[in-house]
């Protein structure tokens, strides 16, 4: 019975996610679902991204968290549209939550919608929200075995951003072993090594993003 209920929930979410995607397509908006565990640097990456592209592409942001509006307040300082969605305990955003959040945004003229999902390595990967791409953020402080322990998120992502690589000399993280584990889980997954602190890899990330936006024209 529990398996049936879970399947029904996922199927209902797919219907709403498809409706969201149709709306995004009509508006000409590219939507990116940013996933990862708490503390990987998702919000900091968002801030760096906004700094680098806000004068190039009109954008908006949806922030997902269990509680507080701290991340939305950080993003709002950059003068872009942002809405906070608090799940009240749920470990992920779903299609319906995003649909409700969109009521607070004006998508007219927006090219890029960045959605920061709730910090979690499991649930966000299971629920589509109508996005064009899922991008995973992992930090070297989490350990190099995460592709084997949490394979689904690696399998459904279009890109993996390995953040905080400036800390590699100080943590027990084998980069080659991590790359090997990642290839075993998803041979097609592109990996960009980034340090939001030093700026390493950020330009490559923006170039990847530009390619995705141009591909929607």
pLDDT above 70 covers what percent of the chain? 96
pLDDT of residue 9: 76
Among residues 198, 214, 215, 213, the alpha carbon closest in space to that of 48 is found at 198
pLDDT of residue 215: 82
CB 115 within 8 A of CB 98: yes
Q: Is 79 exposed, middle or buried (0-12, 13-18, 19+ CB in 10 A)?
A: exposed
Q: Give the per-residue SS3 of the chain.
A: CHHHHHHHHHHHHHHHHHHHHHHHHHHCCEEEEEEECCCCCHHHHHHHHHHHHCCCCCEEEEEEECCCCHHHHHHHCCCCEEEEEECCCCCCCCHHHHHHHHHHCCCCCCCEEEEECCCECCHHHHCCCCCCEEEEEEEHHHCCCHHHHCHHHHHHCCEEEEECHHHHHHCCCCHHHHHHHHHHHCCCCEEEECCCCCCCCHHHHHHHHHHHHHCCC
pLDDT of residue 1: 42
Tokens representing residue 52 in the block: 């680098």
CB 94 within 8 A of CB 33: no
Phi, psi for residue 188 in degrees, rounded to 5: -90, -5
Tokens representing residue 40 in the block: 């990987």
CATH superfamily, with its number, for domain 2-214: P-loop containing nucleotide triphosphate hydrolases (3.40.50.300)
Phi, psi for residue 110 in degrees, rounded to 5: -80, 130
Dihedral of CA 210/212/215/217: which sign?
negative
Which segments of the chain have a pLDDT < 70?
1-6, 216-217
Specify which residues 32 forms β-bridges with.
Answer: 114, 133
Domain spans, the chain: 2-214
Distance CA 67, CA 46 (A): 19
pLDDT of residue 17: 97
């Amino acid at each position: 019975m529990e398996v049936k209920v879970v399947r029904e929930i996922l199927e209902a979410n797919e219907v709403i996610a498809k409706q969201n995607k149709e709306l995004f397509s009509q508006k000409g908006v590219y939507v990116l679902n940013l996933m990862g565990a708490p503390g990987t640097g998702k919000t900091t990456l968002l801030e760096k991204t906004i700094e680098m592209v806000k004068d190039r592409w009109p954008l908006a942001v949806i922030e997902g968290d269990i509680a507080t509006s701290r991340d939305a307040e950080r993003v709002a300082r950059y003068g872009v549209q942002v809405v906070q969605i608090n799940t009240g305990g749920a470990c992920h955003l779903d299609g319906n939550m995003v649909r409700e959040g969109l009521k607070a945004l004006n998508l007219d003229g927006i090219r890029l919608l960045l959605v920061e999902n709730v910090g979690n390595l499991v649930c966000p990967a299971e629920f589509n929200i109508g996005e064009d791409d899922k991008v995973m953020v992992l930090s070297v402080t989490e350990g190099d075995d995460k592709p084997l322990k949490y394979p689904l998120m690696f399998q459904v992502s279009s890109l993996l951003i390995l953040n905080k690589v400036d800390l590699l000399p100080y943590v027990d993280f084998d980069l080659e072993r991590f790359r090997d584990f990642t290839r075993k889980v998803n041979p097609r997954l592109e990996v960009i090594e980034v340090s939001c602190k030093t700026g390493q890899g950020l330009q490559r990330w923006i170039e990847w993003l530009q390619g995705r936006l141009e591909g929607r024209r």
